[in-house]
Structure 1
Amino acid sequence: MNGINKVLVLPNGVLLKNRIVKSAMSEALADEHNNPTQAQIDLFAQWSVGGAALLITGNTPVDRMHLEHAGNFVLDAHSDMKQVSALVAAAQSGGAKVLVQLAHAGRQTPEAINAHPTSISNVKLNLAGYGEPVPATEAEFGIIIKKFVHSAKLAQDAGFDGIEIHAAHGYLLSSALSPRINTRTDRWGGTLENRARLALDVVRAVRAAVDPRFIVAIKLNSSDFQKGGFDHAGSVEVAIMLQDEGVDFIEISGGNFEEPTAYQHTSKNGSTKAREAYFLDYAVAIKAVLNIPLMVTGGFRSANIMNDAIENGKTDLIGMGRPFITEPSFAAKLLNGTIDKAPAIEQDFPPADTLPRGAVLSWFCAQLALAGKTGQPDLSLSVIEGHESYMQQIKITTDKWIETRRQ
């Protein structure tokens, strides 16, 4: 049995039937009250029968005033738990396990949602559309930790198999790790141990509050890829700290909104290996210090590269996102050998430097919305058309969200 077909038993005893994971993608398909819609539920039903062992929801905020997008599904005291349970049932209907990815956007909360979001410091995001953040107080850190715990307990009650805490891509827990963003001089800033305190306290509190068989995972940057930011050496050290707190696996990614490394694409030039699995080299050093499973997300497409990564102990789980949008059942075909490569439509796109910023990501988000609402994507849509469609969708969704809060 080759690498991706092998079962994996997590530290808490939960068995994953293979090594393929649908990593988190921002579905942004929630209604104006931030509850899952039928479109989102239908998407997860498609993915569940698609062959992957594990599905992870898109960014699911624990605080509805700190969203990554107005269309985020939120899990808190105001959530419609009937809809949440329907999402869980759909995600598990085909035999997959499902985690909800819990997050707090921090300074990456759009200004239209919150003009002055709570962050680790007052360092503003260097992009248009984001307001001046306000540094969290000691009391607010306690509230934030309690919100993660409350959301985790709601997830357990709803039937999720576990949660993934989002400490990557520049959101609150990620920015706390960055010496470039975290300029605090109290116990939440300065040394790496202090900068890791928020993520560690969240993990510790969640782990203590949920059942031992409930999966607790975390997503961590291998590096921010920014001068003065959270670097690879720090990532290795934090991974060890997280392991000591009882997480069941760590997912490795990289970058943030200002340096969107995790969302890059490359056209057909250079070697396949160079284009694929762009965080794998960083993961090797992290894998070497861990006794728990590691998941690497970003760029995997070829079965032989995935199998090689697993067989040679570079990673334990393969995280993919975009292929699930263009072909929801590709994982089953990859596992049974019908295909030897996941869909890689982005390799036919124009080079990134010839497109508007974020256009490729927007195209995939537009396709995800189409797939949820109509049952399938429209691959004839150009990158620019998809980008413009998604920008319009964001505006409509945000306007509707704002209007709901005025009522």
Structure 2
Amino acid sequence: MASVVFTPFTLPNGNVVKNRIAKAAMEENMADANQLPGGALFTLYRKWAEGGVGLIITGNVMVDHLAMTGPGGLVLEANTPLEPFKKLAAEAKQNNTRLWMQINHPGRQVFKKMGGKVLSPSDIALDMGKHSGLFEKPKAMTEEDINDLIERFVTTASLAQQAGYDGVQIHAAHGYLLSQFLSPLTNKRKDNWGGSLENRARLLITIAKKVREKCGNAFDIAVKLNSADFQRGGFDVNDAQQVVEMLSQLNVDLVELSGGSYEAPAMQGRTADERTLSREAYFLSFAKQIADTTRTPIMTTGGIRRLSVAQQVIESNVDMVGIASALALTPDLPNRWLEAPDIEGVIPVVGWKDKTLAGLATMAQVKRQLRRLGDGKKPTHNAIALVSLILDQLRAAKLTKRYRKQYANEVR
């Protein structure tokens, strides 16, 4: 008898996901020139669709070409050619796979070497210890900046719909801009966009509402939300519970619960407030707490690599299970589970003392495997962390040079 993980799930708007497994978003940095999808991404997404997931959530797609999480990222804005995104959608939706575009703005989490816009609700710089110099101090956003941002999210969502995507996931986690508005550590505003939780959530709620108005009920709208910042005095699970209830009033189709930021990379299993996370399904206890109090479907992700754990997630009253890094090394893990339920996915672990470098090395190892998949090669399970980090830094420098040359008149 097949696991509950392989049963269909009906979203609030009536659309059906064929099973409970989602390929959660990963940073790919595999865009062609002009920040567009190309052959490598087409191959990568086709492999995931063929591999048996019910839902694919793309790596983050930026709403502003001057605000990038890194070089080689995708951008979809008002004047972007749609054909490459249509092609990517066609590849990713094979095998009855549902496809959502994750849409995002990094806010203050823009590397200094990228240039461009560095915005935040307040002018509070990232505290990365000795690595703080990697980032610039952000500019506190004006009302005009906020209105422009809202319009950008709506435009990107509408273009995703035109390109054939089934929905969007609005990224309000991991310390990116919408998460910065939600957190009292980064939002010190005294106007309607700061102060109370209702005010700090106003930007996210406004964007979700306007996307629904623009795209209609048949288009899936999801939100990625921190269950907690995992920093003392930050956004916490009780805040998340209240924000999920606000989103519930808008009939949002799903909320994915994750956690952390560049300062406290809980999404890699590391916190900054000494709270201990589970070794797998890091945020399950938080997700269950919230799922038990809302009618909005909940998904959680974080280090999941075994079917037994995925099943535990669903049996905890959580509706979807998100898998990311394990699908970089075993893109057909769901299909393998159907044949051999005890197979375990592989996730790179870097235990270096320097948490920032360890986080970069972990991401570098994952991205190295994504590139291998995009090149039509098999992943390797024995990549050396230091080598992966060096290769990734060299590649990033090359892509950054390409980016800055392309937008020489716009970036600092």
Indicate which of 130, 135, 140 corresponds to 1:135: 140
- Matched residue, 2:323: 320
Q: Distance in 2 between matches of 1:219 and 1:239?
A: 10
Q: Which one-letter code corresponds to 2:239 in the other structure?
A: G
Q: Distance in 2 between matches of 1:283 and 1:173?
A: 20
Residues 337-392 of structure 1, C-alpha deviation per residue, up to 9 Å, x if partnerless? 4232441243xx45343783321122111221222124332334211111111111
Residues 89-129 of structure 1, C-alpha deviation per residue, up to 9 Å, x if partnerless? 00012321110000011001222223651211100112332
Q: Distance in 2 between matches of 1:354 and 1:175?
A: 24
Indicate which of 310, 313, 323 corresponds to 1:309: 313
* CA separation of 1:64 and 1:369: change in aligned 2, threshold 3 A: same
- Matched residue, 1:376: 378
- Matched residue, 2:351: 351
Shift of 1:183: 0.7
- 1:289 is the counterpart of 2:290: no
- Matched residue, 1:178: 183
Counterpart mapping for 1:152-191 below 5 A: 152-191=157-196
TM-score by length of 1: 0.94
Residues 229-262 of structure 1, C-alpha deviation per residue, up to 9 Å, x if partnerless? 1111111111111111121000000000111110
* CA separation of 1:115 and 1:152: change in aligned 2, threshold 3 A: closer
Indicate which of 224, 233, 236 corresponds to 1:231: 236
Residues 155-187 of structure 1, C-alpha deviation per residue, up to 9 Å, x if partnerless? 000000100000000000001001010011111
Choose 86-95 or 111-120, whichever is displaced more. Answer: 111-120
Aligned pairs, number: 398
- 1:82 is the counterpart of 2:86: no
Q: Distance in 1 between matches of 2:406 and 2:117?
A: 20
Q: Distance in 1 between matches of 2:216 and 2:176?
A: 26
Q: Distance in 2 between matches of 1:401 and 1:160?
A: 26
Shift of 1:276: 1.1
Choose 145-154 or 32-41, whichever is displaced more. Answer: 32-41
Contact 1:331 1:342 in 2 (8 A): no
- Matched residue, 2:365: 363
Q: Distance in 2 between matches of 1:361 and 1:282?
A: 24
Identity of aligned residues (%): 34
Consecutive unaligned residues of structure 2, counting only runs of 5 or more, are 271-276
TM-score by length of 2: 0.92
What is the alpha-carbon root mean square deviation over aligned residues?
A: 1.9
1:88 aligned counterpart, secondary structure: helix
* CA separation of 1:207 and 1:5: change in aligned 2, threshold 3 A: same
- 1:253 is the counterpart of 2:255: no
Q: Distance in 1 between matches of 2:79 and 2:35?
A: 9
Contact 2:44 2:374 in 1 (8 A): yes
Contact 2:330 2:346 in 1 (8 A): no
Counterpart mapping for 1:21-36 below 5 A: 21-36=22-37
Counterpart mapping for 1:39-118 below 5 A: 39-114=40-115, 116-118=117-119
2:267 aligned counterpart, secondary structure: helix
Q: Distance in 2 between matches of 1:116 and 1:310?
A: 40
Q: Distance in 1 between matches of 2:181 and 2:89?
A: 31
Q: Which one-letter code corresponds to 1:141 in the other structure?
A: I
Q: Distance in 2 between matches of 1:288 and 1:397?
A: 45
- Matched residue, 1:268: none
Choose 26-35 or 357-366, whichever is displaced more. Answer: 357-366
Shift of 1:139: 1.8
Q: Distance in 2 between matches of 1:224 and 1:354?
A: 20
Contact 1:118 1:136 in 2 (8 A): yes
Q: Distance in 1 between matches of 2:57 and 2:269?
A: 20
